A and B are shown apart, each in its own frame.
Chain A
Amino acid sequence: DQQVKQNSPSLSVQEGRISILNCDYTNSMFDYFLWYKKYPAEGPTFLISISSIKDKNEDGRFTVFLNKSAKHLSLHIVPSQPGDSAVYFCAALQNTGNQFYFGTGTSLTVIP
């Protein structure tokens, strides 16, 4: 049973536009959320995170929004660049657990 879901397998955006990647979760005990970026033949790398006590966290071109009541988070990339083309995974951690749960990933293509 997938506790973290990314319902869009792929997304294409024009360079310079905003990319919005979405993630939904079912476990209300999750209290820490992360986004990872993965290029082919490489391991995932950490991008940005957010604690459940916040509803927004920003780092340069990347902003993560958390809507706890909807159990939904999103990653905004503005402006999108061709180098952002990769697979993006969201992940969640339960406040009393040791396990990071990952979504199925969204493949982002930024078109020059």
Chain B
Amino acid sequence: DAGITQSPRHKVTETGTPVTLRCHQTENHRYMYWYRQDPGHGLRLIHYSYGVKDTDKGEVSDGYSVSRSKTEDFLLTLESATSSQTSVYFCAITDRLNTGELFFGEGSRLTVL
């Protein structure tokens, strides 16, 4: 199994509060991704990183920011959480694109009340 851990695994918070989810890898993979999974929508890309301090937006980036100050950590921040951001968040990593595969973390379940 790829060395990828997400924290926290579960979090309940209130609308308007900031939330940070952490993805930590021990594989030294270049690419890191944050997805959210919602019923009827599958997995949707929020942000991704292609190197330290190199990030880009995905298809559902509004309301989210990311940072990657070192290879092993990719942080997802909700500056002011809303109920629509209640979801399960998955981090994924890979070191190769066209011949590689994504390795996923176990997910972080976030509930915004």
**Interface size grouping (class) on chain B:** 20 to 34
Please state if A104 and B101 are interface contacts (CB–CB under 8 Å).
no
Judge whether B106 is part of the interface by a CB distance below 8 angstroms: yes
Question: What residue in chain A is nearest B57 (Cβ atoms)?
Answer: A99
Residues of B within 8 A of A42 (CB): 106-107
Known: A34-B102, A42-B107, A44-B104. A98 touches B97 (CB 8 A): yes
From B42, B44, B56, B103, A98 is in contact (CB under 8 Å) with B56
Please state if A44 and B101 are interface contacts (CB–CB under 8 Å).
no
Residues of B within 8 A of A45 (CB): 104
Residues of B within 8 A of A44 (CB): 43, 90, 102, 104
Judge whether B84 is part of the interface by a CB distance below 8 angstroms: no
Please state if B101 and A34 are interface contacts (CB–CB under 8 Å).
yes
Known: A44-B90, A46-B101. A98 touches B48 (CB 8 A): yes
Residues of A within 8 A of B106 (CB): 41-43
CA separation between A36 and B56, bound complex, in Å? 24
Q: Could you write out 5 A-B pairs with CB less than 8 Å apart?
A: A41-B106, A51-B98, A99-B48, A102-B35, A105-B43
